[in-house]
């Protein structure tokens, strides 16, 4: 599952951070940024991006050959795909489309046609948030998950990022996460909207302690290139590139992020968990250990009482 993300970079910084080496060149290129449409909604840098917010999404330029010069394009899109068949106000389709399950894409009447028509995209973020249920079921502890950073870079301190870009070396600074997604263009008589869904999959041992689902994260340039290459990589082969990422970093954050109207830098600041919570978690763990020990001891005692 993925319900909130963070991206605080400016438009130009996002272009630099998404720079890539075209096959025919030794220098890095920045993708073009297409501003059109989206009912006047624009990307606003935020440490707490929620569904229906607009964020920059990386896509192939294959569908824009007549208007762009680069192989990749950054297009601001609304989070939450608008179904192609929806009529009327795009805000009122009443479907949950923020995430789409990898296992169900090819059988979905919504997502499979989009996949087959080349609607693959990469959602670029600094990190995403997930909530862990605590002993008190009414309270959930939020965590911020992000790519491992260089030693001198702290994800919750933008002053430490030292972002820079040049054509020879590419982007240096904060490392982004690249989530696989699907996007679609929807229109009625008055409005054209681009929107996307984040693909999710079963969590692996890296994150299953936190949540049973995780975003499909593209971990290297080969995966990103294959997912975006809608001309040469067919949909079935592209899906095979989606694997649970094994290396991530995370830290607990305050419940400020629970309110989507809180967009400030404080949302992803690392916090120290309450000692009572740590103590209760330790007590609970100890209880399970003791219970397991009693179970094992009971089995041993039972076996020792059996006649020879």
Active-site residue list: 2, 130
Which DSSP helix (H) or strand (E) runs through 77? strand 72-79
What is the bridge-based pairing of β-strands 54-60 and 4-7? unpaired
Task: Kindly report the number of other CB atoms within 10 A of residue 116's CB atom.
Answer: 12
What is the bridge-based pairing of β-strands 54-60 and 72-79? antiparallel
Q: Which is nearest to 7 in space by CA: 39, 54, 75?
A: 54
Q: Are the C-beta atoms of 195 and 186 separated by less than 8 Å?
A: yes
Cα four-point dihedral sign 283, 288, 294, 296: negative
**Which residue in this structure is represented by tokens 């995403």?**
128
Q: Determine the 3-state secondary structure of 186 from DSSP.
A: strand
Q: Which is nearest to 54 in space by CA: 115, 113, 11?
A: 11
Which DSSP helix (H) or strand (E) runs through 223? helix 221-228
Task: Kindly report the number of other CB atoms within 10 A of residue 28's CB atom.
Answer: 17
Q: Determine the 3-state secondary structure of 249 from DSSP.
A: strand
Two tokens, residue 104 = 């169900």
**Which residue in this structure is represented by tokens 């830098």?**
265
Q: What distance lies between CA 191 and its chain's CA centroid?
A: 27
According to DSSP, the residues that pair with 276 across neighbouring strands are: none
| Dihedrals phi, psi of 251, to nearest 5 degrees | -155, 155
**Which residue in this structure is represented by tokens 């569904």?**
51
């Amino acid at each position: 599952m993925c319900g909130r993300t963070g991206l605080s970079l400016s438009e130009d910084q996002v272009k630099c951070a998404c720079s890539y080496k075209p096959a025919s060149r030794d220098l890095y290129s920045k993708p073009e940024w297409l501003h059109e449409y989206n009912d006047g909604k624009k990307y606003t840098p935020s440490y707490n991006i929620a569904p229906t917010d607009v964020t920059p999404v990386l896509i192939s330029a294959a569908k824009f050959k007549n208007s762009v010069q680069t192989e990749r394009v950054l297009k601001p899109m609304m989070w939450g795909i608008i179904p192609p068949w929806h009529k009327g106000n795009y805000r009122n389709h009443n479907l949950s489309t923020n995430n789409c399950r990898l296992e169900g894409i090819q059988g979905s009447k919504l997502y499979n046609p989009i996949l087959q028509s080349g609607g693959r995209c990469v959602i670029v973020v600094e990190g995403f948030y997930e909530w862990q249920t605590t002993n008190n079921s009414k309270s959930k502890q939020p965590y911020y998950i992000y790519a491992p950073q260089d030693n001198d870079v702290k994800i919750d301190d933008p002053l430490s990022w030292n972002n820079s870009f040049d054509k020879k070396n590419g982007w240096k600074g904060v490392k982004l996460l690249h989530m696989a997604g699907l996007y679609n263009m929807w229109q009625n008589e008055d409005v054209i909207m681009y929107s996307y869904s984040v693909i999710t999959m079963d969590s692996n041992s890296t994150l299953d302690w936190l949540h049973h689902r995780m975003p499909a994260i593209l971990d290297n340039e080969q995966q990103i290139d294959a997912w975006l290459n809608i001309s040469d990589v067919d949909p079935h082969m592209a899906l095979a590139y989606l694997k649970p990422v094994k290396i991530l970093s995370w830290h607990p954050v305050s419940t400020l992020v629970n309110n989507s109207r809180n967009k400030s830098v404080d949302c992803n600041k690392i916090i120290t968990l309450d000692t009572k919570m740590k103590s209760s978690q330790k007590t609970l763990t100890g209880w399970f250990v003791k219970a397991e020990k009693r179970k094992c001891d009971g089995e041993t005692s039972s076996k020792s009482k059996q006649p020879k």
